[in-house]
Chain A
Amino acid sequence: MSNSATIRRQRLTPLWLLLPALAILVPMFAYPLYQLGLLSLFDYGQPQVSGGVPARFLGLGNFRTLFGDQVFWTVLGQTVVFAAGCVVVTLAVGAALAVLLTRVGRVARTTLSFAALAAWAAPAMTGSVVWMFLFDSNLGLVNEVLGLPGYNWLYERSVAFALVGAVVVWHSFPFVMITLYAGIQAIPESVREAAALDGAGAFTIFRRITAPMLRPLITIVVIQSIIWDFKVFTQIYVMTRGGGIAGQNMVLNVYAYQKAFASSQYGLGSAIGIVMTVILLVVTLFYLRALRRTGEAL
């Protein structure tokens, strides 16, 4: 094989290797994303879907409708509060347990790791359903133990959110725990020993050595959690039966889905999807900056 042929093949190969991935991602990911943006600019409802009426271009009309609607702002507000609550609790529990894992014996460590793995592995659907059963107003174990027969945990907005949040945390703290534990393990023992020799106490070692060395990992875990918890769908949809009593437990994802598929306002639903995408893109920019600061070479 001549030299120039080798070079040409070298240049072509990455494209061939990427081709299968692009053949799936362009039509099934990029194009729908483009369509989502397009749909958000149209009045697209049941008459248009059935084919009788042409779609009417609204420009930013759907967004104007959305931003003028008090319900949208309520849903946006509670999505942010709900996600923030889930993130904070998940991280607190995950980090505390990661530190705990470094302090316990082998048996306790294996037991906790396996238990966490089981919660992590449980599908969102089964998690939701099992917790619903545990907190069922008539047959639930929790009401029985607490002596609250007939108490409905889904009746009040904040209580229902707290219950769904607990399920989300139960599903997601294992990721934080195992990742941070691996991170702590990766810090060389010699660094801590050196600090201890220089007279640093356990708290100082944690504050001045462990925490700063873990900071890049923590940033990544925080942002991953924000992205996951902002997009919670199954737990809310299943546990509160599609958004709670009179829609009191709506989050943006469920709201978009209901607007599109329950009330056939596909254009408006897409506009909500675009708002979510923009919010998450901003979070992603922070993520990219954080990645760059960890010194990652893309």
Chain B
Amino acid sequence: MIRRRIADTVAIAVAALTVFPIYWMVLSAVKPTGEIQSADPRPWTLHPTLDHFRSALGVSGFGRYFLNSLTVALAVVVLSALVSFLAAMALTRFRFRSRTTILVMFLVAQMVPVEALSIPLFFQIRDLGRTVPGIGLNTLGSLVLVQLAFSLPFTIWMLRGFVAAVPVEVEEAATVDGANRLTILWRILFPLVAPGLAATSVFSFITAWNDFLFAKTFIISATEKQTLPAALLVFFKPDENDWGGIMAASTVMTIPVLVFFVFVRRRLVSGLGGAVKD
């Protein structure tokens, strides 16, 4: 009983320590500037204020960057869900010659240091923009495209387990009832795989939402197309940082991901099991 009590205490202490940086971020975002700059920081505030949020979202245009980030992330989530569902179907429901090769390539693709690909992609996107203006430098389309490409190998790999878990008998029954392939795919299998899609969506959402490197590389001059992570650096001044503003902007950036995570928490663990074990 005492050992259990000690274990509980340790676990809660670790939890408090783990969550503390996030608590400190939110706290500093609502602290008045005077308290942030005081030499004696306190872990609470008696005068919460939304000033930092107001200046971040209003003056510094973070509302705009928030919408940009959201647009890119949601586009990546929707497109990667559709594309990886189809690919996962092909790789689990059919046996064909190059199947294993393709699977191994998806696995290897997850290991490629995509950061290094920013060099050739910079030139490729620049040249693409000359023919297709929507996906050149300084466009959100370019970010959607590369983030989609980087998330697919993982989402396809992970979704396989969920597709495999749907019994083939379901499809057979539908065929007997006269449903054609397209109906089976979208009306029967897609809803059944939806929990798996929720889990993979977290990963594609986070890849896209957190991206800093490609936003920094591709959005070179059009500041109104900037996304949150790259825009946050604007707050850093060489001499005196506006920590209140930085923490408010960080809070705005963290909340959507937190909500997303809590929303799909259970799916996440089972999805990981699928990805790791399958």
Contact = CB atoms under 8 A, between A and B. Distances in A.
A211 to B, nearest CB: 17
A264 to B, nearest CB: 11
B121 interface: yes
Given A121-B261, A170-B18, A139 B243 contact: yes
A266 interface: yes
Interface string A1-39: 000000000110111011011001100110111011011
B260 interface: yes
A29 to B, nearest CB: 5
B258 interface: yes
A266 B116 CA distance: 11
Contacts, number: 274
B124 A253 contact: no
A197 interface: no
Most buried by A among B181, B229, B265: B229
B149 A25 contact: yes
Contact of A25 (B12, B18, B109, B217): B109
A257 B104 contact: no
A125 interface: yes
B84 to A, nearest CB: 7
Q: How many of chain A's residues touch chain B, expressed as a range?
A: 35 or more
Interface stretch (B45-53, B58-66, B190-198, B269-277): B269-277
B10 interface: yes
A17 B87 contact: yes
Contacts of A117: 261-262, 265
A256 B138 CA distance: 22
Most buried by A among B109, B117, B121: B117
Given A105-B4, A130-B25, A253 B116 contact: yes
Contacts of A256: 115-116, 119
Given A33-B117, A36-B119, A273-B113, A298 B257 contact: no
B124 A130 contact: no
A182 B119 CA distance: 39
B68 interface: no
Contacts of B123: 35, 49, 266
A28 B113 contact: no
B121 A32 contact: yes
B113 A277 contact: yes
Given A29-B149, A139-B243, A112 B14 contact: yes
A125 B41 contact: no
Nearest to B38: A139
Interface in A176-217: 178-179, 182, 186, 217
A126 B152 contact: no
A32 B117 contact: yes
Given A24-B145, A28-B145, A31-B124, A284 B115 contact: no
A39 B11 CA distance: 51
Interface stretch (A67-75, A157-165, A231-239): A231-239
Contacts of A20: 82-83, 86-87
B76 to A, nearest CB: 11
Nearest to A116: B18
A133 B121 contact: no
Contact of B25 (A35, A112, A126, A179): A126
A115 B18 contact: yes
B223 interface: no
B86 A136 contact: no
A111 interface: yes
Contact of A269 (B40, B41, B119): B119
Given A32-B121, A100-B7, A115-B18, A17 B90 contact: yes
Given A272-B116, A277-B112, A21 B22 contact: no
B21 interface: yes
A260 interface: yes
19 contacts: A11-B96, A14-B93, A14-B94, A28-B146, A33-B112, A103-B7, A111-B11, A111-B12, A123-B257, A124-B210, A126-B25, A129-B247, A129-B250, A178-B269, A227-B110, A261-B118, A266-B123, A270-B120, A284-B107
Given A230-B113, A270-B116, 9 more contacts: A18-B86, A21-B87, A29-B153, A114-B262, A125-B253, A133-B247, A238-B233, A266-B119, A280-B113
Closest 3 CB pairs of A and B: A273-B116, A35-B120, A28-B149
